[in-house]
Amino acid sequence: MRHILFLLLIAMAAPAALAQTYKPQHPMDALTAEEIALAVDLLKKEGQANADTVYPSISVFEMPKADVLDWKPGDPIKRRAAMVYRNNGETYEAVVDLGEKQVVSHAAIANVEPMILDREWAFARDKAMADERWKKAMARRGYTQLKLADVFCTPVSAGYFPGQDYQKRRILMVPCYDRVDKLHPVLARPIEGVLAVVDTESGEVLEVIDRDIVSLPEAPQGYGKTLPQDDAPLKPVEIAAIKGVNFTAKNQLDLTWQNWSMHVRADRRAGIILSLVRFRQGEANRMIAYQMSVSELFVPYMDPDPTWSFKTYMDAGEFGLGYLISSLQRGIDCPADALMVDLTFPNDVGGTYTRPRALCVFERATGDPAWRHYNSAREQTDGRPEIELVVRTIPTLGNYDYVFDYVFRARGSITLRVGATGFDAIKSVSSADMDAASAETDTRYGGLIAPYTVAPNHDHFVNYRLDLDIDGQANSFVRDTLTMAVLKDSPTRKSIWRVKSQRYKTEGPVQPDHSVEGGEVFRVVNSLKTNALKQPPSYLIHGGHNAVSVIDPADPAQARAQFSANTFWITAYRPGEMWAAGNYPNRSRSDAGLPKFVSNGESIADTDIVVWYTLGFRHIPAPEDFPILPTLWHEVVLRPMRFFDRDPSSTLNPEFAK
Ligand SMILES: [Cu+2]
């Protein structure tokens, strides 16, 4: 959520010439560098764009779902670009047909702010640091004769708060940090109490908030003057496919592994988008998900201080989970022999840049049995090792790195995993420990995680858009409640539990009720098909206990991210409904996504539905988060239920290929 400028500078340094210029092979492929150049050119020829136009978003405008499902390799592909662009501070949308070479439609979109642009970061920082009020506030803190080299300022998104008088502006907030040596993270020494508010179009510094001074300790707080010695080196423990891999990857990017197949594409906002996720069973190639991706990531902080309270980031819609993907390291981020894939993204000025090693794909043996049984009569054990396929990206959103995994198993399950690592967002305080007189005040809204260092409490809400199509599109959403049943006539038992199913009829939020006595499960079911046992096939969405936002719905931050108040939202499939907090969450006033999508109450019975799942976790920071946050994993599992006739992993060959 917090944005670090240098990441962007690396991204911009990669010239468009490095971008891959492959021809699209599949309707779901991301736009190629050539296609983006053509789209921009056509927009200019139409008189809609000029040399000053900026492009917050250029993405593939997908073919209609029915056409994608009919498409076979070798068939023609209708390629169109969906563009969001800005001229003189106004926002426009256009659809450009790349085959017909024409602009299909264009329109001005009023009262929206597209995602933050590359040029705005450095611009906001420089304007803040040139402002006399800011210099005065810094001088109060001992930064006289200030040089850029002394401090590190990194703008962040502003949220939207009706009480502020810079409501209609495109603004960024600029907090600053004392410059530290290379041994320490760049955000290790926050300079508290100073915050510049910058209009990124006019360059005007709208306000400099200058509050209480918190003096910084001599060394980066909590780290000491030197870092601790390393432990003795371990003998290596590795994951390796020593005889080659069992998956195939071609084009950008068709993946197959065992019975699984899927298409993966880069997306500046979502990170990656998985499409056409299928499981082959004999002759049939059965659809499980038409599309899966992260649609938003909302991270509200719980500190009311004016220099902190605005921190209510929407990392996908404001910053871009693809835009901030960081390159993966072999042997640490992914196994040493993982397939590394460079991803090409559109930039703001109508070109592209390529992030090297942005995505990795690998198999791993988990060390666990996929299944096993000891047969006592025969005194023998049968089993298979668990081997899974992982598709991984790691965007770095300022202080946090999020490991986003899609994990596939032979049993037919898909696990969506999120690992949060990197650093807690921290503030400098005057308390060295909890015996300090100021400790109670300093830790009212967060935890002391090191001397002079508090990390404010916060939530992470990852919303997944799951366009599941279980054996086709006629799907319904079902809640199975496990309820206690009294047995009046039983000579032995007095009660048992039974399963009661409820099928949802209309769009809306669905909230798990953790207080129900026996528990509950949620499924997407195709009532019009059956397996060999004549049962309707379904997939369970198994998330376990899961946090939702408890912020007051009237709170301005919550109003923009209403999706986070419910674990599930179910909508009828509509092309173009991609983002849980709406197309334009940056500086939005209310959530124009899910609450809007469900407002017309369309039917969701036996039809094409989309499940939106919020994987939420609260974070009460503690010293174990410091000096770095060991990866904190959360997951949701999509598991077959009556989809197969028997466990598909039961037939795994007990021998490995020689
Ligand atoms: Cu956290």
Least reliable range by pLDDT among 9-13, 137-141, 424-428: 9-13
Q: Is 583 helix (H, G, I), strand (E, B) or coil?
A: coil
Of 256, 243, 402, the closest CA to residue 337 belongs to 243
Question: Given this model, what pLDDT does residue 228 score?
Answer: 65
pLDDT tens digits, one per residue of 180-223: 887 788 888 999 999 999 999 999 999 999 999 998 877 777 77
Whether the per-residue pLDDT at 347 is higher than 60: the answer is yes
Mean pLDDT, residues 549-576: 97
Distance 423 CA to ligand 1 centre (A): 8
Distance 520 CA to ligand 1 centre (A): 28
- Ramachandran bin of 438, using left for φ above 0, alpha for ψ from -120 to 50, beta for the remaining angles: alpha
Distance 303 CA to ligand 1 centre (A): 14
Distance 10 CA to ligand 1 centre (A): 26
CA dihedral of 332, 335, 337, 343, whole degrees rounded to 10: -70
Which two three-digit tokens encode residue 285?
């190639």
Which two three-digit tokens encode residue 394?
């790691």
Whether the per-residue pLDDT at 5 is higher than 50: the answer is no
Distance 422 CA to ligand 1 centre (A): 9
d(CA 631, CA 426): 17
Using CA atoms, how far residue 78 sits from 30, 568, 573, 575, in Å, is: 13, 33, 21, 16
Residue 569 — φ and ψ, nearest 5°? -130, 140
Residues in the chain: 658
Distance 619 CA to ligand 1 centre (A): 5
Q: Which residues contact 378 (CB under 8 A, 6 or more apart)?
A: none
Q: What pairs with residue 108 in β-bridges? A: 92
d(CA 190, CA 184): 13
pLDDT tens digits, one per residue of 598-617: 999 999 999 999 999 999 99
Q: What residue has token string 């089993």? A: 383
Distance 1 CA to ligand 1 centre (A): 10
Using CA atoms, how far residue 306 sits from 195, 208, 210, 271, in Å, is: 9, 11, 10, 31
Distance 323 CA to ligand 1 centre (A): 21
Distance 461 CA to ligand 1 centre (A): 10
Using CA atoms, how far residue 447 sits from 245, 382, 488, 512, in Å, is: 45, 49, 54, 30
Distance 456 CA to ligand 1 centre (A): 9
Q: What pairs with residue 396 in β-bridges? A: 401
Q: Are 624 and 618 contacting, i.e. CB atoms less than 8 angstroms apart?
A: no
Distance 557 CA to ligand 1 centre (A): 17
Using CA atoms, how far residue 59 sits from 93, 96, 244, 346, 568, in Å, is: 11, 11, 35, 8, 27
State which H helix or E strand residue 44 sits in.
Answer: helix 33-45
Distance 458 CA to ligand 1 centre (A): 6
Distance 460 CA to ligand 1 centre (A): 6
pLDDT tens digits, one per residue of 636-652: 999 999 999 999 999 99
Concatenating the DSSP letter of every residue in 469-489 gives: -TTSS-BEEEEEEEEEEE-SS
Distance 248 CA to ligand 1 centre (A): 36
Distance 325 CA to ligand 1 centre (A): 18
CB atoms within 10 A of CB 485: 12
Question: Given this model, what pLDDT does residue 18 score?
Answer: 32
Percent of the chain's residues with pLDDT above 90 = 85
* Cα first-last separation, the chain: 47
User: What is residue 370's DSSP assignment?
Assistant: E
State which H helix or E strand residue 616 sits in.
Answer: strand 609-619
Of 563, 341, 353, the closest CA to residue 463 belongs to 563
Distance 629 CA to ligand 1 centre (A): 9
What's the chain's average pLDDT?
93
CB atoms within 10 A of CB 323: 25
Distance 459 CA to ligand 1 centre (A): 6
Distance 455 CA to ligand 1 centre (A): 9
- Measured at the CA of 263, the angle between CA 261 and CA 268, to 5 degrees, comes to 150
Give the helix ranges, DSSP H, for 535-655.
556-560, 594-597
Mean pLDDT, residues 222-229: 66
Q: Which residues contact 200 (CB under 8 A, 6 or more apart)?
A: 117, 120, 123, 124, 170, 171, 172
CB atoms within 10 A of CB 19: 22
Q: What residue has token string 């060295």? A: 432
Percent of the chain's residues with pLDDT above 70 = 95
**Chain centroid to CA 123: how far?**
26
d(CA 194, CA 73): 57
Distance 603 CA to ligand 1 centre (A): 37
